[in-house]
Amino acid sequence: MPRALLIIIAVLLVAPNPLMAQGKGKGIRLWNLTTATISGFQLSPAGKNDWGPNQTLNDKDKEVDHDERLRITGVEPGRYDAKVSYAGAKQCLVRGIEIKADAVFSIADKDLTDCNK
């Protein structure tokens, strides 16, 4: 009996714990590769125009500078469109962004479409 108990304890110590592993990922993050600071960032399932909350509110200064990363919350992996806002009321769309779990996706100036001022 004691040997079996030692084996069970050893297996439990070595085996990954799925409950502990859940919190280890960095989550979904946006990497701003545009040349300007983003003041608003909303996602919608691709083609739906059903915009979610402003994700820039997740940032400590409520903006995403060039080359800064932003944690995206409340979004499942999938394909999305994004509404990107800049100071001075400029807004642009980015269509068909593929978002993966615990991964970084980026947007750059070349991705911006349908911009207005």
User: How do residues 39-74 score in pLDDT, each as one tens digit?
Assistant: 999 999 999 999 999 999 999 999 999 999 999 999
Phi/psi at 104 (5° precision): -100, 135
Domain membership of residue 13 (yes or no) is no
CA 112, chain centre distance (Å): 18
Q: What is the pLDDT of residue 78?
A: 98
What is the distance between the alpha carbons of residues 41 and 52, in angstroms, rounded to a whole number? Answer: 9
Domain membership of residue 84 (yes or no) is yes
Domain membership of residue 5 (yes or no) is no
Domain membership of residue 108 (yes or no) is yes
pLDDT higher for 56 or 11? Answer: 56
pLDDT digits (tens, 9 = 90+) for 13-23: 555 544 344 45
pLDDT digits (tens, 9 = 90+) for 85-100: 999 889 999 999 999 9
Domain membership of residue 9 (yes or no) is no
Q: Pick from 107, 88, 109, 85: which is nearest to 96 by CA?
A: 107
Q: What is the pLDDT of residue 17?
A: 47
One-letter amino acid of 95: R
Domain membership of residue 19 (yes or no) is no
Q: What is the pLDDT of residue 20?
A: 40
Confidence at 25, pLDDT banded by 50, 70, 90: confident
Q: What is the pLDDT of residue 13?
A: 54
One-letter amino acid of 110: K
Domain membership of residue 41 (yes or no) is yes
Domain membership of residue 6 (yes or no) is no
Q: Could you tell me the CATH number of the domain that includes residue 104?
A: 2.60.40
Total tally of structural domains belonging to the chain: 1
**Domain span at 63:** 25-116
